[in-house]
Structure 1
Amino acid sequence: MTIIERRDVPPARTHGPRRWVGQSIRRVEDPKFLRGRGGYIADLVRPGMLHAAVLRSPYPHARIVSIDTTAAEAMPGVYAVVTGAQAAELTDPLPDFGPDPAKHTWRCLAVDKVRYVGEGVVVVVADDRYLAEDALALIEVEYDPLPAVVDPVRALDAGAPLVHEALGANLAYDRTFDFGDVDADFAEADLVVRDRLRWHRSGGQPLETVGAIADFDPSTGQLTAHTNSLSFTSYLFMAAATLRIPANKLDIRQVPAGGSFGSKLFVTKPLVIAGMCSRIVGRPVVFLEDRVDNISNCDHHGSDRVYDVELAVMRDGTLRGLRIDTIDDYGAYIQFGVGHHGNALAQVTGPYTIGSVRYRVRAALTNKNQQGAYRGFGSEVNNWMLEQMVDKAARELRMDPVEIRRRNFIQPAQFPYFIPTGNAYDSGDYEAVLERALELGEYDRWRAEQARAREEGRYLGIGLITAQERSVFSATEFWFWFDEPGAPVTSMPESVTLNVDATGGITATLYSCAFWGNSPETMVAQLVAEEFDCEPHDVSIVYHGSQGGLPATGPGGSRTTVMLAGAVEGASAKIKAKARRAASELLEVDPDDLEWTEGGFQVRGVPDRRKSLGDIAIALHLFKHTFPEDIESGLEESKVFDHPWTTMPSADRSDLGVFYPFMGHACHVPVVEVDVATGEVRILAYAAVHDCGTLVNPRSLAGHIVGGTAQGIGTALYEEFVYDDHGQLVTSSFLDYTIPSAMEVPELRIDHVETPSPYTPHGIKGGGEGGRMMAPAALNVAVNDALAPLGVRVTELPMTPDRLRAAIRAAEGAPPG
């Protein structure tokens, strides 16, 4: 294996003028969705399909003593009743990257004991979902309840109930990493700022829950499945192994996500349940989670962390070093290992020239639903933690929160900049973003308004945070946690096939999921139009199922726009190379005498001597013997585009290499008013300025920022999966799990500063997680600014009215309650 030297920097690209990249065009997907023809899982249900429903555990921790399915099996219209023990005979464990698989096994249904409220125990297949649910009610399960543990700190104590007895502890991972001279930076610091911070779990709430339609053909052994999982191509073999079928006998067809925000990244449980059931009954089976399934038994709750943090600071505001000790509550299973913290380590020092970091991560197992991905995948939590500490440092130094950030910014001339972990930031102009945000957010006016409000006894707060948005991950972040990783994967490609038909029409074939929010059809159409000087809406976009498809990783980590841009660029270059040679034959000139312009090749300096792409395409399709023997008929090319900048971690892991180098940045400035009598937080204004490199479609990017900020508002103020002390999930529906509505989300003022990446096509950086990466931190800073006259500092999210009132009462010296 060729190892790239860790400090190697790719050659810089030049970015010329653009016609379509950067235009706010209407989405090419819109007509089908507006007409109700999007093709979601529920849209694909047809007469004759059978329906599956899952019986969930009412206990957070219990042994399964017995299961009586007799009555359910006798019910008319029921075709199969499958217990966890029976499922274990038909399927292997689900894919996961957690601790010792012999001692930590995650299956589609619980076998001998349940480990959280909502874990699946039995699945029923019936003529329709109503019958299946009725049959579930007839199943009798005897449980032997066990003590549960839901607090991640207590879970690590000696004597705590064990989630997996075979592991011998609830500590699934514990390691400390040092980057730079941490001890020296803290020894020389004038001030060490300390805090304990608590981020509670929430999750993406899709309009359509996770589902799959599986159709097993016993005559061929082929399983065809439609699923709204975001990632399936690269790791298809894992799902096939769980189903115990060869990977080349599993064909997964893309279905629009119906909302994901990370919560459908690599989801296998519904696919496995539907596939297993289809094999049993010999008919197509649909399993689509209901809302309680999705909240209590999904694959993807968000991060759930406790932080003890120390920040080394000089009197002049210079930030020197960070010491981070975090316990992350992964629930009952740990499917992605501690990959969430790779996202954090990609930007752990934010936009600042902090020189050293000590990072300890402990993964705790508890009796909760397993943790997975939610927009930001752990890096949004790091942004919140770091900005809380920078804001606290400014207060302890009595320093302007704007000035402390400005003083520590990485400067434009320093890029590419290597942070202490070894990851690189490709480009940026953080001060320009800050200045634009201060202007857009009317920072000085609101400071004056805040002073007037305080004289009136009102509590206004202004938040200001400057934070990163890493994009385009490399696979190394999933295995650099171990000295001897089990699978040191380094490929995370994306592929495109471009076909020019005989009329010159262009079709792009994609190999990732169908629609997840960043408008892949629109984005690819714009990129293709940029290459071939056509109209984006004239480009046809189709999707290839997994069987026989080219390598593709799918969305996640704000990677897809950059990666598909590289694939489109590469396939276009191949088509143009063949078209140039064909045009040289048709025009009887040397290929070097031709130039591409306005959708075709022309002789340099002779505009009248040209061939359009359509002229060339029809000749290549229909007139083979016009050309030399080595020019084949047709005009179709593919490109598998691999990560453009990855370097390997050092053997001792003191340098993690370059693994997330295309670094976006943003400054958010919200203004809030806190009602100290009720704990209500009202957002009065909100400004956000982002740098995502070159914008592809500002219109759709604005949607990312607005939607992500709305989710960030939910994280900051409302949303939480609450488990009580006994392990019961008390927020199992939208009656209890509070999501902000349009009434709670203010009008956002959005702007952009573009610093193109020197290393990506067109200078694009990812922007899909914008908003949620910043809003929780910004709103926490704003609330703390509002309550500063009372001596209140809120260190726990979400900042619910109850929590704010408790903090205010404690500051007033009143008893709680």
Structure 2
Amino acid sequence: MSRADAGADTGSASGEKTKRESFTGTSVKRVEDHRILTGQAEYIHDITPEGCLHMALLRTTHPHAHIESVDTSKAEDHPDCALVLTGEDLVEHYNPMPCGLEGFEEWSLATDKVRFVGEPVAAVVATDRYVAEDIVDLIRVEYDVLEPVVDSIEACDDEIVIHESVGTNVPDGECLEFGDPEGAFEDAAHVVEREYSWGRISGVPLETAGVVATYDPDHDEFDVDCNIQLHTLVDDTIYETLGYPPEKVRVNVPADIGGSFGTKIAIHRYCSLASMASQHLDGTPVKFVEDRVENLQGGDMHCTDRKYRVKLALDDDGTVRGLDTWFVDDFGAFPRYPVNQALKPLSVVSGAYDIRDVRYDYDLVLTNKTSQTAYRGFGVPPHLYALEMAMDEAARELDIDPTALRHKNLVQPDQMPYTIASHNVYDSGDYPEALDHIQDIVDEKEVCEGGLLDPAVVEAKREEGKYRGVSYTLLIEPGVSGSDWTDRQRSDRDALKVRDRDEVAELPEHLRAEVRDDGTIQAWLAADSSGQGHQTIVAQLLADELEILPSDIDTGYLDSVTAPTVYGSAASRMAVMLSGAAKGLGEKLKGNLRQLGAQEWGIDMDDVVYRDGGVERADGSDRLTLADLADIDGGISDPKTRVSYDYQHPVTELPEFDEALRNKFPVYPTAAFAANAPIVEVDTQTGQVEILKFYSLRDCGTQLNPDIVEGQAQGGLAQGIGAALLEEFGYDESGQPQAVTFFDYLLPSVKNIPPLELHHTETPSPFTATGAKGTGEGGMIDGPAAIASSINAALEPLGIVADEIPATPDRLRRKVREAQE
């Protein structure tokens, strides 16, 4: 059905266009939700081919040890055992897994040494998972136990080296200077220097990692059904491990994968092992799904674990002249792909502040812990947290109101687009107005009689030992990452200084579609989804381009062989990239359809117009619907009703980003932002923090679907609350993980998610096709810093700063005791 058939105002018979209703920008219901809510969605857990066998893994309980021997004889004698694989088998037939840095060799099963608790040592394939787990217990491994490296600062001393062949626990690091930071600190009236700690967390998706792999011996190729994220970008981690070309390893990802948030980018170990097992079993399908303990303990899905030192150079009036950050990033046992999360904070290096002289220094450190991978925000949340803590402490030292200090240093609207010191560009926004607006809302609703911040109530609560406070922060969410910069750490950095702009190679976003016989549209995405609503967004965007209804558009997903390599659904990219791809695809398809109409009528193409899901003669004398055009096009070897389009990354046409692109600095052309005001209450008797209400003003440019934007914000803030107050993968001094169940790894729930009052403004981006900005990582990026800053505001009378994340009750209670001594 065309939009005209549905009653929309679509134009006159003379061909003069009038204003059309747009689906983009409206809260079209997510097409994904019906199958999910009715139980029709198919996950990897649901896929079990006929004759499928099941794999289980033997994981080490030692954080650091040489493997002396592996005895699999009793396991192989078990009547239900189909296969046992060890590291020795892999070395004989396959390759080590690709690593984030050169010089490392990591096998899917440990070979000579184990380096973290939970590292797989052997794989067993049996008739079902329960039997496979029992058989795993029959394998005997002899270890020579070594002293573990647990503390990231001590690891820098290299007294015990985890990888002898590399020779150091600090395989990567870089000190970058922009402007004149040395001069800024020399001339500063005040220098504030502090240290902060961000604990190891992760996304913990509802569905754990899973794979079903089948080897085809007739064609010597693999089919790998799995829930990996970025399957066309990181499929090399599978096919290179197997030792096959990409066209021989077909990676399929279902439409629904039960969440990822970046954590499933690095599940290639399981995909490779299941594929190897199937090959050894002559093509029998092999399935593996993590259990929750495996996921938390050794699932290759932990994320940022940092210790910061931050210095600010300030004038007497609070103007920030210089910023100097140094951090140690604990990557665990291997510098697993992607390592560039140590660099992404450069995209927002000075936050929302106008600071021109900056030093950015980091050390990537290895310890005997589970390896890091990506998680929502990808290294930005701890950076903004540390910066905002330093701003709070600078305000105290200079005796300036923290909000006034922030306001004084904000980038001004007349500076937009604003090139930050590290050469990324903020596209648009009025930061001072946003900060004022959220403060006005809280003042009106809460700093009043009966409000949460009623001065009388605050004083009475303080008498009970409960301290209330709020802080007003504005934080940036960088969006729509480029791809070329992501291998900076594997590049010759000296050569980058003379690199030419023409050498930059960005990955596009791919979209294809065809007109079906009934006139509806089938579209395909090259990028996989992690629940963001891509099928809905594509339907909205294409419906507007083709002037039909979203319900007439179905969207599927391409496998890694059929699809070209794209960056995919990460780094808050897809809303912007799909906007451009849908616009380009729609224009290309409409041009083809006009050409078909011109050929059918024997007239010039200029005399054919596209309108309302069909083509018409310009004089209005005849019309062909999409179904008519599909019929005309049927049987043609190069059909005009089937098109594909590659949308190039927007920075490729923007000279503002040339300096960043040439130097492989992080490129993120959209800057969504949030002005936050969480009201907290800290019980000084217990250290417990309660968020009474969370106010937030959010701006992601043009909202393509406000309901989806709202859902992303609420979910992101829930994860931000977890990061700020609850979640942490702790390790004891012996290298044993302390959070391997949900009794220890605490997630936010309805019990501790406060009322969220979210407001939205729209400052369209001048850099994108629809004015949209990336918004998939907000909340997790801006929530923790905002909450910690409000804790600082509440505990300011005691001189306490939340210098450790998560701000757990024991940590805050200890600080209160120290302050009261």
Q: TM-score, normalised by structure 1?
A: 0.92
Q: 2:111 corresponds to which residue?
A: 111
Cα distance change of structure 1 residues 130 and 262 upon mapping to structure 2, 3 Å threshold: same
Question: How much has 1:237 moved relative to structure 2?
Answer: 3.5
Question: How much has 1:707 moved relative to structure 2?
Answer: 0.9
Give the Cα–Cα distance (whole angstroms) in 1 for the partners of residues 245 and 664 of structure 2.
35
Matched, 1:680 2:688: yes
Matched, 1:577 2:566: no
Residues 452-473 of structure 1 deviation map (CA, whole Å, 9 limit, x = unaligned) = 4134423001132211111111
Q: 2:67 corresponds to which residue?
A: 64
Question: How much has 1:620 moved relative to structure 2?
Answer: 3.3
Q: 1:8 corresponds to which residue?
A: none
Q: 2:7 corresponds to which residue?
A: none
Please state whether the residue corresponding to 2:563 is helix, strand or coil.
coil
Residues 482-527 of structure 1 deviation map (CA, whole Å, 9 limit, x = unaligned) = 66169987332221111112332111011222x3021111111111
Give the Cα–Cα distance (whole angstroms) in 2 for the partners of residues 763 and 651 of structure 1.
23
Give the Cα–Cα distance (whole angstroms) in 1 for the partners of residues 228 and 548 of structure 2.
32
Report 1:415-814 matches (<5 A): 415-441=416-442, 442=445, 444-445=447-448, 448-450=453-455, 452-456=457-461, 457=463, 458-481=466-489, 484=492, 490-513=505-528, 515-585=529-599, 590-602=604-616, 610-621=623-634, 633-646=639-652, 656=664, 659-813=667-821
Please state whether the residue corresponding to 2:203 is helix, strand or coil.
coil
Report 1:238-253 matches (<5 A): 238-253=237-252
1:171 partner letter: V
Give the Cα–Cα distance (whole angstroms) in 2 for the partners of residues 589 and 395 of structure 1.
76
Question: How much has 1:223 moved relative to structure 2?
Answer: 0.3
Give the Cα–Cα distance (whole angstroms) in 2 for the partners of residues 491 and 655 of structure 1.
14
Which deviates more, 800-809 or 168-177? 168-177
Please state whether the residue corresponding to 2:309 is helix, strand or coil.
strand
Give the Cα–Cα distance (whole angstroms) in 1 for the partners of residues 68 and 563 of structure 2.
45
Conservation of the 8 A alpha-carbon contact between 1:421 and 1:654: no
Give the Cα–Cα distance (whole angstroms) in 1 for the partners of residues 68 and 639 of structure 2.
67
Give the Cα–Cα distance (whole angstroms) in 1 for the partners of residues 789 and 772 of structure 2.
30
Residues 249-301 of structure 1 deviation map (CA, whole Å, 9 limit, x = unaligned) = 11111122211111012431110111111111120000111112111222221
Cα distance change of structure 1 residues 560 and 60 upon mapping to structure 2, 3 Å threshold: same
Residues 165-201 of structure 1 deviation map (CA, whole Å, 9 limit, x = unaligned) = 2222211112210011111222222221211000010
Please state whether the residue corresponding to 2:634 is helix, strand or coil.
helix
Q: 1:628 corresponds to which residue?
A: none
Cα distance change of structure 1 residues 588 and 86 upon mapping to structure 2, 3 Å threshold: closer
Conservation of the 8 A alpha-carbon contact between 1:178 and 1:654: no
Question: How much has 1:352 moved relative to structure 2?
Answer: 1.4
Conservation of the 8 A alpha-carbon contact between 1:346 and 1:660: yes
Question: How much has 1:56 moved relative to structure 2?
Answer: 0.7
Report 1:262-277 matches (<5 A): 262-277=262-277
Q: 2:36 corresponds to which residue?
A: 33
Q: 1:81 corresponds to which residue?
A: 84
Return 5+ residue gaps in structure 2 as ranges: 1-18, 497-502
Which deviates more, 478-487 or 370-379? 478-487
Give the Cα–Cα distance (whole angstroms) in 1 for the partners of residues 736 and 753 of structure 2.
30
Cα distance change of structure 1 residues 608 and 417 upon mapping to structure 2, 3 Å threshold: farther
Cα distance change of structure 1 residues 675 and 443 upon mapping to structure 2, 3 Å threshold: same
Give the Cα–Cα distance (whole angstroms) in 2 for the partners of residues 307 and 338 of structure 1.
18
Return 5+ residue gaps in structure 1 as ranges: 1-15, 625-630
Number of aligned residues: 785
Give the Cα–Cα distance (whole angstroms) in 2 for the partners of residues 674 and 334 of structure 1.
38
Question: How much has 1:439 moved relative to structure 2?
Answer: 3.9
Report percent identity of matched pairs. Answer: 38
Which deviates more, 352-361 or 381-390? 381-390
Question: How much has 1:231 moved relative to structure 2?
Answer: 1.2
Residues 647-685 of structure 1 deviation map (CA, whole Å, 9 limit, x = unaligned) = 799999996557111111111110011111111111111
Residues 598-647 of structure 1 deviation map (CA, whole Å, 9 limit, x = unaligned) = 3344566x66755444444443338x8xxxxxx96441110122211047
Cα distance change of structure 1 residues 280 and 31 upon mapping to structure 2, 3 Å threshold: same
Q: 1:315 corresponds to which residue?
A: 316
Conservation of the 8 A alpha-carbon contact between 1:649 and 1:657: no
Residues 398-453 of structure 1 deviation map (CA, whole Å, 9 limit, x = unaligned) = 32333222222222232221111111112222233323322444464468525641
Q: 2:325 corresponds to which residue?
A: 324
2:523 partner letter: A
Matched, 1:43 2:46: yes
1:724 partner letter: D
Give the Cα–Cα distance (whole angstroms) in 1 for the partners of residues 370 and 534 of structure 2.
31
Cα-Cα RMSD: 2.4
Give the Cα–Cα distance (whole angstroms) in 2 for the partners of residues 783 and 450 of structure 1.
17
Residues 524-562 of structure 1 deviation map (CA, whole Å, 9 limit, x = unaligned) = 111111111222122111222112323322211111221
Conservation of the 8 A alpha-carbon contact between 2:175 and 2:361: yes
Question: How much has 1:334 moved relative to structure 2?
Answer: 0.4
Give the Cα–Cα distance (whole angstroms) in 2 for the partners of residues 734 and 496 of structure 1.
40
Report 1:151-170 matches (<5 A): 151-159=151-159, 161-170=160-169
Question: How much has 1:480 moved relative to structure 2?
Answer: 3.0
Conservation of the 8 A alpha-carbon contact between 1:311 and 1:322: yes
Give the Cα–Cα distance (whole angstroms) in 1 for the partners of residues 504 and 293 of structure 2.
35
Please state whether the residue corresponding to 2:196 is helix, strand or coil.
strand
Match of 1:97 among 89, 97, 100: 100
Cα distance change of structure 1 residues 663 and 336 upon mapping to structure 2, 3 Å threshold: same
Residues 306-326 of structure 1 deviation map (CA, whole Å, 9 limit, x = unaligned) = 101101122222222110111
1:133 partner letter: E
Q: 1:3 corresponds to which residue?
A: none
Matched, 1:227 2:218: no
1:662 partner letter: T
Please state whether the residue corresponding to 1:194 is helix, strand or coil.
strand
Q: 2:191 corresponds to which residue?
A: 192
Please state whether the residue corresponding to 1:198 is helix, strand or coil.
strand
